[in-house]
């Protein structure tokens, strides 16, 4: 079974307070569903080629299906409602390679 990942790039953030509330709620939902936060840029970020300097978050789950279920979970949907329109994001759920 391949791991699943959330890969999120923040294009813009208009409300840091809402983002903080979202982070607390999302963190609890992620942990409750077996996810592990691997990357949350707060400082060092180097971009190349067509890359954009954006806040980036990567979360690992035991499986691709668990990553999908967590996004659809009620707890995570509550977090999304708290975020509202405070951020524009590129949010992807991707399957890891078989190792």
pTM of the model: 0.92
84 within some domain: yes
* Cα–Cα dist 69/66, whole Å: 5
The reply to whether 49 falls in a domain is: no
At 39-96, the pLDDT tens digits run 998 788 899 999 999 999 999 999 999 999 999 999 999 999 999 999 999 999 999 9
User: Which residues have CB under 8 Å from 60's CB, separation 6+?
Assistant: 3, 4, 5, 35, 36, 38, 96
Note the pLDDT of residue 64: 97
Q: Mean pLDDT, to the nearest integer, of 17-35?
A: 97
Q: Which two tokens stand for residue 78?
A: 């509550």
Q: What is the count of structural domains for the chain?
A: 1
Range list of β-strands (E), the chain: 4-13, 36-40, 55-61, 87-95
Q: What CATH number is associated with residue 26? A: 3.30.70.100
Domain assignment present for residue 48? The answer is no
Question: Is position 12 within any domain?
Answer: yes
DSSP state of 41: -
In whole angstroms, give the CA distance from residue 37 to residue 31. Answer: 9
- The residue segments making up the domain with residue 8 are 4-43+54-95
Residue 13 belongs to some domain of the structure: yes
């Amino acid at each position: 079974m391949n791991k699943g990942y959330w890969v999120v790039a923040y294009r813009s953030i208009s409300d840091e307070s809402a983002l903080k509330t979202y982070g607390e709620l999302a963190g609890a939902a992620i942990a409750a569903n077996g996810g592990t936060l691997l990357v949350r840029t707060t400082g060092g970020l180097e971009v190349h080629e067509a890359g954009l300097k954006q806040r980036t978050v990567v979360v690992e789950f035991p499986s691709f299906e668990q990553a999908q279920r967590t996004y659809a979970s009620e707890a995570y949907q509550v977090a999304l409602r708290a975020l509202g329109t405070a951020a524009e994001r590129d949010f992807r759920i991707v399957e890891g390679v078989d190792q």
